[in-house]
């Protein structure tokens, strides 16, 4: 029953709709560190220009649960060139370092396989932060707790897909049953190989015990900033935790909205 996402980076246009859709659904504000005070201006102004291609948000944070990477590679005379885009988020690892590390069982896996931080249980000890090989989980000074992608826990438990997958204009992000998504990924991979893209590969079938959010890359995963052999620390340390009980109240992050009859079927399992 594990739900997950398949991110086909070969059709990502780097539009960042996923980043905004995530914030919209989950009620996340602009990342505070991106804004500063300016003289004679009653509101903070963004100043986070990086000069790193079109990537100005830089990394995942407690308020940025999605982040699109931009990889520009051209040779000097521009006979070879490419611009890759890859939308990154929590991978909801089968062997989840953050979950393993949490001393109070604030981080749990739900029946749908997503790894979820219970905000009312989290004590803000930050053990989980170094335990994530992907830098996904982050601490918020405002709430005193850690935050990351929930796989839209409220949506998926109500028959909807994730907000990012729903918004993605090109279908680069798809949500669904992991086993079904793997079929889709394999088919796309063989199509691309057939077209001569021999370096295309799937990332996430084996890493960290298998990632529920996995990727199709056009080149080595390191080109996209993903580790080849992610190390999951403190493995099995808390395995005895077995079954964790979660309250549904905690599950509602900033749960909003519903969906509609006609849209329902299409939106589901997108």
Minimal distance, residue 115 CB to another protein, in Å: 9
CB closer to another protein, 12 vs 228: 12
Residue 8 CA to residue 200 CA, distance in Å, equals 11
Minimal distance, residue 44 CB to another protein, in Å: 7
Give how far Cα 210 sits from Cα of 10, 23, 206, Å: 21, 26, 5
Which residues are bridge partners to 135 per DSSP?
none
- 208: which residues sit within 8 A by CB, 6+ positions away? 91, 93, 94, 95, 96, 97, 133, 230, 232
CB closer to another protein, 228 vs 249: 249
Minimal distance, residue 214 CB to another protein, in Å: 15
CB closer to another protein, 48 vs 220: 48
Minimal distance, residue 234 CB to another protein, in Å: 16
CB closer to another protein, 29 vs 141: 29
Minimal distance, residue 116 CB to another protein, in Å: 8
Minimal distance, residue 205 CB to another protein, in Å: 15
Residue 129 CA to residue 107 CA, distance in Å, equals 12
- 137: which residues sit within 8 A by CB, 6+ positions away? 90, 98, 117, 128, 129, 146, 147, 148
Minimal distance, residue 231 CB to another protein, in Å: 20
How many helices (H) and strands (E) in the chain?
Answer: 8, 12
* CA of residue 87 relative to chain centroid, distance: 8
Residue 29 CA to residue 33 CA, distance in Å, equals 11
The enclosing H or E element of 67 equals strand 67-74
The 3-class SS string of 154-191 reads HHHCCCCCCHHHHHCCCCCEEEEEHHHHHHHHHHHHHH
CB closer to another protein, 14 vs 133: 14
Minimal distance, residue 95 CB to another protein, in Å: 9
> In terms of Cα–Cα distance, which of 269, 245, 270 is closest to 111?
245
CB closer to another protein, 228 vs 257: 257
Classified as helix, coil or strand, 254 is: coil
CB closer to another protein, 96 vs 228: 96
For 257, the token pair is 């909205």
């Amino acid at each position: 029953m594990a739900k997950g996402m398949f991110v086909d980076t070969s059709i990502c246009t780097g539009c960042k709709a996923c980043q905004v859709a995530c914030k919209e659904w989950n009620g996340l504000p602009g990342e505070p560190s991106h804004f500063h005070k300016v003289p004679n201006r009653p509101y903070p102004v963004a100043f986070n220009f990086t000069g790193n291609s079109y990537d100005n948000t830089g990394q995942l944070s407690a308020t940025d649960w999605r982040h699109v990477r931009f990889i520009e590679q051209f040779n000097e005379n521009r006979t070879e060139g490419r611009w890759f885009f890859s939308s990154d988020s929590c991978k909801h690892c089968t062997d989840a370092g953050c979950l393993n590390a949490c001393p109070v069982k604030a981080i749990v896996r739900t029946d749908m396989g997503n790894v979820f931080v219970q905000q009312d249980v989290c004590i803000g000890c930050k053990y989980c932060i170094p335990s994530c090989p992907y830098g996904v989980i982050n601490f918020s000074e405002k709430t005193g707790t850690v935050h990351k992608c929930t796989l839209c826990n409220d949506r998926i438990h109500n028959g909807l897909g994730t907000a990012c997958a729903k918004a993605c204009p090109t279908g680069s992000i798809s949500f669904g049953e992991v086993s079904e998504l793997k079929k889709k990924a394999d088919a796309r991979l063989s199509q691309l190989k057939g077209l001569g893209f021999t370096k295309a590969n799937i990332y996430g079938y084996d890493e960290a015990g298998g990632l529920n959010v996995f990727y199709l890359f056009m080149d080595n995963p390191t080109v996209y900033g993903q580790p080849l052999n992610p190390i999951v620390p403190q493995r099995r340390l808390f395995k005895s935790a077995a079954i964790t009980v979660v309250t549904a109240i905690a599950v509602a992050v900033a749960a909003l909205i519903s969906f509609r009859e006609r849209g329902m079927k299409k939106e589901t399992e997108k």
